[in-house]
Amino acid sequence: MVKVKICGVTKVEDIILLENFSVDYLGFIMYPLSPRYVGEKLKELLTLVKKAKKVVVLVDPSEKEAKEVLDLGADLIQLHGNENLEIATKIGLHRVIKAFRVKEPFDFKRLEPWKQVYAILLDTYQKGIPGGTGKTFNWEIARRTVLEDYRVFLAGGLNPNNVIEAINIVRPYAIDISSGLESEPGIKDPEKVKALFEALKERRVEPHP
């Protein structure tokens, strides 16, 4: 069964809502330019998560910034900038999800140094934006990454209407959804969340051609 990560969580009510659906990972944005930035609320929000793994998204953090987030209770750090392997090693490779923004042609050699991290996250490239574009990319690139034995979190424009198609094409370890479940940035829509889990429950596994 594919794992589910919901990112861009900003509200206590949304943590309660999502944990009622047994979400596997909850993501919190610590990038000040994001409309989903949680800032000083991070400690409170992490404390309220009871079941899901807590993922904090950082963009080009210092070792000190990463350590502070871990000390607040994060289980995993998602590196969503131009980080090198050195900072990931200092954090602990087993606690790092490394995000790559995908555009074509995609250089798969970029992934090779990151083989030992917790997971690779593939998101859509858009100039000047680290993530959260709400747009999809060529899922065949993600499928090839999975076939090359990477643990892949698939992000980028997923929503209740296209998630099953994406899963059947890519077969990722996890899906990562943010804007596709929102009524506005940082505010999750209960009806969209319900629709997502109904779609996942009814999913039919289709064989690869």
Positions marked active-site: 7, 123
Q: Is the dihedral of CA 160, 150, 117, 20 positive or negative?
A: positive
Is 102 within 8 Å of 125 (Cβ atoms)?
yes
Distant-in-sequence, close-in-space partners of 92: CB < 8 Å, separation ≥ 6: none
Residue with tokens 């574009």: 133
What count of other Cβ atoms lies within 10 Å of the Cβ of residue 24? 15
